[in-house]
Structure 1
Amino acid sequence: MSERPQPLKAINRLFEGKEPWQIVTMTASSVLALVWAHSLYNAKDSVTTRMRREFFRWLRHVPLVRRKIEEKMAEITLGFKRDAVKRLSGLTIRKELPEHGLTAEQIKEEVLNHLNLGQYDWKSGAVSGAVYHLNSEIVSVACDAYALTAYTNPLHADVFPGINKMEGEVVRMAVNLFHGDADCCGTVTTGGTESIIMACKAFRDLAYSKGISNPQIVVPATVHCAFDKAAQYLGLSVKSVQVDPETLQVDVNAVRRAIGRRTCLIVGSAPNYPYGTMDNIAALSDIALEYDVPLHVDACLGGFLAAFMSEAGHPVPVFDFRLPGVASISADTHKYGYAPKGTSVVLYRRPEYRHHQYTVTTEWPGGVYGSPTVNGSRAGGLIAACWATMVFVGRSKYVQMTDEIIKTARYVENELRTVDGIFIFGKPATSVVAFGSKKFDIFKMADTLHKKGWSLNALQFPSGVHICLTHAHTQAGVAQRFVQDVRDAAAYCLQHASEPVEGKMAIYGVAQEIPDRSLVSDITKHFIDSTYYLPQPGDENL
């Protein structure tokens, strides 16, 4: 008879002389420990993150701490409510349907009143991003197309096949702009966030089909927060990789180290939102091929600029389907594609990827149901308006407008590099110019510029602000006025560096210093609540 293997001998010795209940207890404990270790390894958040979260969760149960937090939250909420009341002062507040409908003239007047509520003159180019052109001809063509198709729905392909044709043409035109081949495909979505969610869904399901039960995405720290939203919606875990502090590009070696058996997607930005720098997509493509993982390029912000930059005479690194590791691209047609708000494209190298994006239900009593994106019913009018915009603007006009925007962005960048007291983050790749300061609180400058009528975007970790240049900023004198206002604001801040920051910009500085990020989350939720707030009787006494 052959001798027992050594592991079995060790197990027999371990249980030798033990009572049955002891053997059962030890076996059950071992199994539970293995299950716990497996869950720990496969958890969506790291051990450090969970311990930190639990610590602050229990700390908030301490009566003194809880009371202080509740008092501060009440104060902050009251402030948000006051802002809402002030913002809506003098307007008719409608909480019930009017007994008799308003006239078309009355509605138009009220719409214009609502449109002018904001404190920034966006038509003069005072706003970072948000409004990407002011061309009245493009607006007219897009709105006319929307008006004709406002009640169409591409879900009903047999009823509105023309809308499906338009969507197919938008996708194919975008594929060609990003140098895709005949196999490349995609869909129109309602915006960059949905495009990103769809890409994450597609590659999550692809991972499922390969037996990966808890997929993980590897993203730069500077990647758009829509990837975090996608992870929350889709049950993905996220591994965030730091960027080089000088170039603000993702550390490609760190990406390589972050890839594991659960990785279903790696991501690069072209460019990223905070600093406007472009990750080394070519290097990420090589890593994607080496490890056989899909690479998604988030070109939502600047994709429709970068696609035309070379033809306009401005160098830009290769970031699209010319790189063999690129599996998908997201790009917003409602930004530098100049379409009305509510459209974007998500593109795939292979049809099988797009198939994983789809949702299909086969056992529903209502019949077999298939949907390409998040929405079932979709706004055919937005697709038509996007299509109309693209074919109306045409390639030569896109190239011209791109040239005007990039020249304006380079002018602003070069001029700001000469301003005493501030520095530029990295090398802007397209239209975003981000700057900070080592001599004064940059949020003090942002507040000063706010008082001069400029709406800029605040950044954190590290503190900074950026301006996203659009075609609205190419109007005569706008860029020059901005540069001069920055010079004046920097000079003021250098002279008053010791004074505290006031106004809403002070919140950004304080928020970075709060170690319990759940508090920052709660404050943000209260702010979002305030955007829905309608004044109540007695609010005038707030």
Structure 2
Amino acid sequence: MRKKVELELGQAKLDIEKKLVPQGKGVTRHLSLPSTGHTSEWILEEMAQMDVEGESHTNWKHGKLSGAVYHGGDDLCKVIVSAFERYCVSNPLHPDVFPAIRKMEAEIVAMCLRLYNNPDGAGVTTSGGTESIIMSVKTHRDWARATKGITEPEIVVPASAHAAFDKGAAYLKIKVHTIPVDPVTRKVDLKHVSRAINPNTIMIVGSAINFPDGNQDDIIALGKLAKRNKIGLHVDCCLGSFIVPFLEKAGYPTDLFDFRVEGVTAISCDTHKLTGPYLYHAHSTHTYQGNSVIMYRNAELRTYQYYVNPTWTGGVYASPSIAGSRPGSLIAGTWAAMQYMGSDGYLESCKSIVGATRAIAKTITTDIPELYVLGNPPASVVAFASKHPQVNIREVGDVMSKKGWHLNAIVQPAAVHIAVTRLTVPVVDEFIADLKDAIREARTNPSGKGTMVALYACLPVEGG
């Protein structure tokens, strides 16, 4: 049995590498510096060769990609590229050299704070959602140590929360209590959260929305728990970013999730998901990958995030987050995208994306008896699982992959999700038709494997 398992794992590794590494005729790996620098024409040609379509390549422009790319259109792309080019060598670590970047960064944070109903709060931009979450964990740890004397900190996290909370806790030596979610509502079990809180608890967590199935925890109830126990509450809005704050204006029913909820001390929001479901990345209204904002209820709490070394030989060293030097070009691109989109642009993006998401969920519920939707997702993600004994949802995912769809497999329960972006909106009918075909194929001609891999992120390949 061990040999069989090792054989299957080895084959799975090969399959994953095949999907992740550019392959094909003419693809060459460059593992050492060229003896002489190449021309820009050669570089662009080589990049084009790496992007050749094949079995391992997904063309995001066709709209068959779940999340990952949040494109705001060619016009917005030009705006962002222009901003990027103008500030390509800027570094906010040196604000006296690049004051414009410092100004734009402050304005990005201010705009996000107002969007999340806390104009008097404080925040910092980071490299992405993971860093925002890790910074919040670090901030609450240091706050609890300074104000409550906690030296063995613990956090309480839903099983549906992003893995970045576990990652941050591993880095910072914090104990994690992982709480199950209700199998029907997909919200974190509040009774279990309450029982897990103890004198060492520094923070509890809720999502609006979570990555696995796109559902939203009961933030109001979590806020009451946080306030009663005098601990932090981080609301992860990285995926909800610029969709969830516009649900109410777009006419969709929604529960409070932001700083209007008493007890909320921190919120993370990915500005690189600004509009596609967010801002530009590649579907809709996204900025370059690599920008996020961590917001706090007040400036006092934010001070626990900073690192300051006044006695370093090189002079006083201070930084607001993990990174020292940072690419100011990403900040400029984010600022430009937000100015270009405006509130009206994000609202229209919200309407189209959430409308498409709910159309998919409704069709699955009413017209595809073999599947069911996990919970009642309010925004841009729909997860579906099989309720038919002869339909393996992983096999359905495999068939969808053959039809060109790049979806996400999740676990507990086994399911597949699609994160809708503006690129997805025009191909919703095609998605439904392909999904029905995939179910028929998986049911009538099962392979018996279901090899779709639940892969969110991975380690570098060899040589990288």
TM-score, normalising length: structure 1? 0.79
3-state DSSP of counterpart to 1:238: strand
Structure 1 484/79 Cα, relative in aligned 2: closer, same or farther at 3 Å?
Answer: closer
Name the structure 2 match of 1:447.
Answer: 398
Correspondence 1:99 to 2:35:
yes
Amino acid at match of 1:528: L
Q: Deviations over 1:333-358 (max 9, x none)?
A: 11113111110100000112111111
Alpha-carbon contact 1:191-1:332 (below 8 Å) kept: yes
Amino acid at match of 1:200: V
3-state DSSP of counterpart to 1:152: coil
Alpha-carbon contact 2:185-2:376 (below 8 Å) kept: yes
Correspondence 1:363 to 2:311:
yes
Amino acid at match of 1:104: S
Q: Deviations over 1:122-150 (max 9, x none)?
A: 10101000111250111110111011101
3-state DSSP of counterpart to 1:188: strand
Name the structure 2 match of 1:229.
Answer: 167
Name the structure 1 match of 2:78.
Answer: 140
Q: Pick from 309, 320, 344: which aligns with 1:396? A: 344
Alpha-carbon contact 2:110-2:119 (below 8 Å) kept: no
Q: Deviations over 1:152-189 (max 9, x none)?
A: 1111111111111100000000000000032x010111
Amino acid at match of 2:199: R
Amino acid at match of 1:217: I
Name the structure 1 match of 2:45.
Answer: 109
Alpha-carbon contact 1:422-1:490 (below 8 Å) kept: no
Aligned partners of 1:284, 1:489: CA distance in 2, in Å?
40
Correspondence 1:297 to 2:235:
yes
Amino acid at match of 2:60: W
Please provide the CA RMSD for this pair.
Answer: 2.2
Correspondence 1:152 to 2:90:
yes
Alpha-carbon contact 2:22-2:51 (below 8 Å) kept: no
Q: Pick from 163, 176, 191: which aligns with 2:114? A: 176
Aligned partners of 2:240, 2:149: CA distance in 1, in Å?
35
Aligned partners of 1:339, 1:485: CA distance in 2, in Å?
30
Name the structure 1 match of 2:382.
Answer: 433
Aligned partners of 2:421, 2:11: CA distance in 1, in Å?
37
Q: Pick from 214, 221, 243: which aligns with 1:276? A: 214
Structure 1 82/386 Cα, relative in aligned 2: closer, same or farther at 3 Å?
Answer: closer
Q: Pick from 411, 416, 420: which aligns with 1:460? A: 411
Aligned partners of 1:364, 1:450: CA distance in 2, in Å?
53
Alpha-carbon contact 1:405-1:469 (below 8 Å) kept: yes
Aligned partners of 1:80, 1:309: CA distance in 2, in Å?
37
Compute the displacement of 1:491 (Å): 2.0
Structure 1: segments with no counterpart, 5+ residues: 1-63, 512-523, 535-542
Alpha-carbon contact 2:51-2:57 (below 8 Å) kept: no
TM-score, normalising length: structure 2? 0.92
Structure 1 70/411 Cα, relative in aligned 2: closer, same or farther at 3 Å?
Answer: closer
Q: Deviations over 1:286-323 (max 9, x none)?
A: 11111111110000001210111211222221100111
Alpha-carbon contact 2:409-2:417 (below 8 Å) kept: yes
Alpha-carbon contact 1:421-1:494 (below 8 Å) kept: no
3-state DSSP of counterpart to 1:304: coil
Compute the displacement of 1:324 (Å): 1.6
Paired residues for 1:467-506 under 5 Å: 467-475=418-426, 478-496=427-445, 499-502=447-450, 504-505=451-452
Paired residues for 1:41-190 under 5 Å: 77=13, 87=23, 89-116=25-52, 118-182=56-120, 184-190=121-127
Correspondence 1:196 to 2:136:
no
3-state DSSP of counterpart to 1:326: coil
3-state DSSP of counterpart to 2:272: coil
Aligned partners of 1:303, 1:369: CA distance in 2, in Å?
32
Q: Pick from 356, 359, 378: which aligns with 1:411? A: 359
Aligned partners of 1:322, 1:368: CA distance in 2, in Å?
38
Q: Which has the higher mean CA deviation after the structures are superposed, 357-366 or 454-463?
A: 357-366
Aligned partners of 1:455, 1:331: CA distance in 2, in Å?
24
Larger helix percent: 1
Paired residues for 1:21-40 under 5 Å: none
Structure 1 401/83 Cα, relative in aligned 2: closer, same or farther at 3 Å?
Answer: closer
Correspondence 1:321 to 2:259:
yes
Q: Deviations over 1:468-503 (max 9, x none)?
A: 00011123xx00000111111112223235x4025x
3-state DSSP of counterpart to 2:243: helix
Aligned partners of 1:332, 1:306: CA distance in 2, in Å?
12
Correspondence 1:246 to 2:184:
yes
Compute the displacement of 1:246 (Å): 0.4
Aligned partners of 2:412, 2:221: CA distance in 1, in Å?
25
3-state DSSP of counterpart to 2:424: helix
3-state DSSP of counterpart to 1:472: coil
3-state DSSP of counterpart to 2:223: helix
Compute the displacement of 1:71 (Å): 6.7
Amino acid at match of 1:434: A
Alpha-carbon contact 1:127-1:455 (below 8 Å) kept: yes
Compute the displacement of 1:70 (Å): 6.8
Structure 1 270/96 Cα, relative in aligned 2: closer, same or farther at 3 Å?
Answer: same
Aligned partners of 1:419, 1:79: CA distance in 2, in Å?
30
3-state DSSP of counterpart to 2:258: coil
Aligned partners of 2:344, 2:16: CA distance in 1, in Å?
46
Compute the displacement of 1:82 (Å): 6.0
Amino acid at match of 1:109: E
Aligned partners of 1:237, 1:106: CA distance in 2, in Å?
51
Compute the displacement of 1:404 (Å): 0.8
Aligned partners of 1:151, 1:122: CA distance in 2, in Å?
29
Compute the displacement of 1:112 (Å): 2.5
Correspondence 1:207 to 2:138:
no
Alpha-carbon contact 1:420-1:490 (below 8 Å) kept: no
Amino acid at match of 1:323: V
Aligned partners of 1:133, 1:249: CA distance in 2, in Å?
30
